[in-house]
Structure 1
């Protein structure tokens, strides 16, 4: 399945099969893909707290105002934004980057300076971490259909109660709660607003004129069957 197909197939109104468990290998593969999301300086300021035990999922269900998807789904994933990856993990990340592509001492010095400068300029590291953790959450939801899985992001929850219940440290922000499992059925893809309602060109309010993009033409000189 291509990324475009996964995006088209992602459902907002999925129902989960509560009796079909997600194998360890499939869950690990999904989280590996989610961890490949973009982040500044490759700092990866996200952490995933995976809940599979029924008692823990019941506790989350209560803290999320009894959302029915959390009752059905065999897995719940809490996506956390970690405020200080530059303090605890930067040296290890820098070594990985250096192993992937030869870096001079000058390159390493510039990278160190950029990380210190950029993070010092952030007025709220919790907001910064959550902004990038949301990218990992979105990547997880895009990757799920390729593995036969469905996701449902939960938009109402008591973050304070969840933090207390599951021991989330103060330097982590709860950014997303995602129900995960195998879908019972394949409901139709919900419609979306036309791009003319969502997009502008060059200036806010300037009308969108580039079409809807739902059936793009093949590149010039190639047929759609190439």
Structure 2
């Protein structure tokens, strides 16, 4: 399946098959793909809290107002935005970058300065972390589709209660709650607004004139 096919096929399912587990190999593959999402300076400010135990999924479901998808799906994933990857992981990331691309001392100094400058400009690290963690959450849903899985993002939940139940530290924001598993039946096609309703050209309010294109393109 190409990336375009995975995007076109991705649907939020109505029901999951509770008797069909997700294998370790597929789960690991999905998370590795999700971790390839873009992030500034490769800081990867997201963490995935994977919940498979029935008791823990029941506790999560209660904290999400008894959402039925969390009762059916064999896997739930909390997507967290980590506020300070530059403090804990920048050295490791920098070493990996140096191994992949030869960097001079001058290059490393410039990159270090850019990271310090860009992160110092962020007045709310929680918003910054969630902004990029949500990109990872979207990549996770596309990866799930590519692997034959289905996903559903849970919109209503008690974030404070989830934080307490799973001991999520304060330097991690809860950005998304995902249900992952195998769909029951064929998901219906989700309607998509035309580009003329979604896009402007050159200036806000200026009509879109480039047409609708073709999803197969």
Match of 1:75 in 2: 75
Map 1:130-209 onto structure 2 (within 5 A).
130-209=130-209
- Which digits, 9 at most, give the CA deviation of each residue in 1:137-178, with x for residues without a partner? 000001111111000000111111000000000000000000
Measure the CA separation in 1 of the matches of 2:214 and 2:168.
Answer: 42
Once residues 46 and 215 of structure 1 are traced to their aligned partners in structure 2, the CA distance between those partners, rounded to angstroms, is: 31
The Cα RMSD (Å) is: 0.9
> Which 5+ residue runs of structure 1 have no aligned equivalent?
218-226
Q: How does 1:2-151 map to 2 (within 5 A)?
A: 2-151=2-151
Q: 1:148 to 1:215 in 2, by over 3 A?
A: closer
Contact 2:17-2:184 within 8 A present in 1 as well? yes
Does the aligned pair in 2 maintain the 1:14–1:151 contact within 8 Å?
Answer: no
User: What are structure 2's unaligned runs of at least 5 residues?
Assistant: none
Shift of 1:65: 0.7
Inter-partner Cα distance in structure 2 for 1:215 and 1:25:
31
1:44-92 deviations in whole A, cap 9, x for unaligned?
0000000000000000000001111111100000000000000000000
What do residues 177-224 of structure 1 show as CA deviations (whole Å, max 9, x unaligned)?
A: 00000111112211111110110001111000111122466xxxxxxx
Q: Number of aligned residue pairs: give it.
A: 217
- After TM superposition, the structure 1 stretch with the greater mean CA deviation from structure 2, 186-195 or 98-107, is 186-195
Moved over 6 A (4+): none
Aligned to 1:224: none
Q: TM-score, normalised by structure 2?
A: 0.98
**TM-score scaled to structure 1, two decimals?**
0.94
